Amino acid sequence: MEINRTAVVKLSVPSNRRDDLKRTMNTFRDATQRFADRGWEGDDDGYVITSGNHLQRLVYDDIREDTALHADLCVGAANHAADVLTSVVEKMKDGERVSQPVFRSNTTVYNTNAITYFDGYCSLTAYGGSRIHAEYVYPTDSIQAEYLESDKWTKQGAKLRYDHQTDTYYLHVSVKQEREETSAEAENKTVLGVDRNVDGYLAVTSTGAFIGNADLLNHKRREYERRRARLQQQGTRSAHLTIQSIGDTFANWSEDFLHHASKELVKEAVSQGCTTIVFEELENIRERISNASKFQQWTFNELKRQVEYKANEEGITVETVHPAYTSQRCSETGCGFTHEDNRDGDEFVCQKCGKELHSDYNAARNIAHKFIQNRRKSGSGGATYHLALKSGTVNGNGDYSPSTV
């Protein structure tokens, strides 16, 4: 069984190399666009080309010559374009409306030839073939540090993203781990706790998967509301029609966004051998999220609805627990100290045992824990429920068993 994760780490780029990195990113985007345009034109039979190799055969030489992009990055651009075209074709097959891909995002894809990982920093291939060294910026005990530093995880390619608002580069490194599944593990009912959020990550699991960019969702929502408000002021018939049209577009985009997030969540449950996914009850979630709007409530409901639908197909059940204290309790096995001072934004630091965790990850572990405790108290069945953690499982008695790696 292969477990895949993404380590997101902020990079410290030397100031004299920032322009090179930006230029590399822009050139990569132009090259990707050209590969995608060629793929969209189609092959001899008129089908959209979804193979990176095929795209390379057709236009690699031209694009390489025109852009002077490094060979490894040029190959990366072709594959990136092919990936996007593949997802477009999948949507077409599902009967969705699609349009020619346009690349606007600030992203560079580095395959394993174009990036080298070292302790504490990485080396990135730049525009003309020179290398840029950039240091990782993260707390030493973070999940990100473990993904990048532990021998348990194999580092693969990475995506470099530039956040315009904060003028910051983030590296998204794909890491993987091979894990053998024992029959005993399969027999146990393993519980995946899920914490839903209005900002940061939409959903965080008790296994340490961070899913869906809630900030992006909020940004799109605000954009849509601003446009709608402007059009409403005009009050003309054509403005009214435009309001309907942008409303449909936004609704489709949100559905699609949640479709991807729910797919990721169920995939996580399947890959960890979980038989139960546990959310917080939404009726009570407002205690924690005081400004939860109707839209955010819809988002949470819709995410759960889609997860239920997809989980059902995998034979996984979806349950809920009351959210009280899930964000204040220390999820460290054998601790459980609960205090409001434990949490400060994204950071959870137990005031008793000193355990430091991402707040949402800590909450997700508590959600799974609570479900298991509830089941034990009600004495249901004889089945043993295990809480799925990223490095092993904890049962209802608090006994910890490390995963077999």
Residue whose CB is less far from Zn ion, 185 or 195: 195
How far is residue 172's CA from residue 107's CA, in Å, rounded to a whole number? 10
Residue 271, SS3?
helix
CA angle, residues 102, 104, 108, in degrees to nearest 5: 110
Question: Phi first, then psi: what are they for 277, rounded to 5°?
Answer: -110, 130
Distance of CA 285 to the CA centre of its chain: 22
Rg (CA), the chain: 23
How far is residue 339's CA from residue 369's CA, in Å, rounded to a whole number? 17
Buried b (16+ CB within 10 A) or exposed e, 315-336: ebebebbebeebbbbbbbbeeb
Helix (H) or strand (E) segment spanning residue 157: strand 154-163
Q: Tell me how far, at minimum, the Cβ of 339 lies from Zn ion, in Å.
A: 9
Q: Tell me how far, at minimum, the Cβ of 369 lies from Zn ion, in Å.
A: 13
Q: Using the structure block, give the residue that is written with the tokens 């050209």.
A: 34
Q: Tell me how far, at minimum, the Cβ of 351 lies from Zn ion, in Å.
A: 8
Q: Tell me how far, at minimum, the Cβ of 325 lies from Zn ion, in Å.
A: 13
Query: Contacts with Zn ion: how many residues (CB under 5 A)?
Result: 8
The catalytic position among 146, 185, 264, 360 is: 360
How far is residue 330's CA from residue 67's CA, in Å, rounded to a whole number? 53
CB of 194 closer than 8 Å to CB of 204: yes
Q: Is 402 exposed, middle or buried (0-12, 13-18, 19+ CB in 10 A)?
A: exposed
Residue whose CB is less far from Zn ion, 14 or 354: 354
How far is residue 372's CA from residue 109's CA, in Å, rounded to a whole number? 41
Active site residue 65: no
The catalytic position among 185, 195, 264, 268 is: 195
Tokens of 84: 């996007």
Binders in 5-44 for Zn ion, by CB under 5 A? none
Residue whose CB is less far from Zn ion, 92 or 353: 353
CB of 261 closer than 8 Å to CB of 203: yes
Residue whose CB is less far from Zn ion, 211 or 350: 350
Residue whose CB is less far from Zn ion, 149 or 332: 332
Binders in 311-370 for Zn ion, by CB under 5 A? 330, 332, 335, 337, 350, 352-353, 355
Q: Is 210 exposed, middle or buried (0-12, 13-18, 19+ CB in 10 A)?
A: buried
Binders in 219-238 for Zn ion, by CB under 5 A? none
> Which residues are within 8 A (CB) of 18 and not within 5 positions of it... i.e. 6 or more apart?
none
Residue whose CB is less far from Zn ion, 171 or 330: 330
Helix (H) or strand (E) segment spanning residue 39: helix 18-41
How far is residue 205's CA from residue 277's CA, in Å, rounded to a whole number? 9
Q: Tell me how far, at minimum, the Cβ of 133 lies from Zn ion, in Å.
A: 38
The catalytic position among 146, 185, 264, 280 is: 280
Residue whose CB is less far from Zn ion, 115 or 357: 357
Q: Tell me how far, at minimum, the Cβ of 354 lies from Zn ion, in Å.
A: 7
Q: Tell me how far, at minimum, the Cβ of 337 lies from Zn ion, in Å.
A: 5
* Beta-bridge partners for 132: 124
CB of 76 closer than 8 Å to CB of 56: no
Q: Tell me how far, at minimum, the Cβ of 197 lies from Zn ion, in Å.
A: 22
Binders in 61-80 for Zn ion, by CB under 5 A? none
Binders in 158-187 for Zn ion, by CB under 5 A? none
Active site residue 280: yes
Residue whose CB is less far from Zn ion, 76 or 208: 208
Question: What residues make contact with Zn ion under the rule CB under 5 A?
Answer: 330, 332, 335, 337, 350, 352-353, 355
Return the active site residues: 195, 280, 360
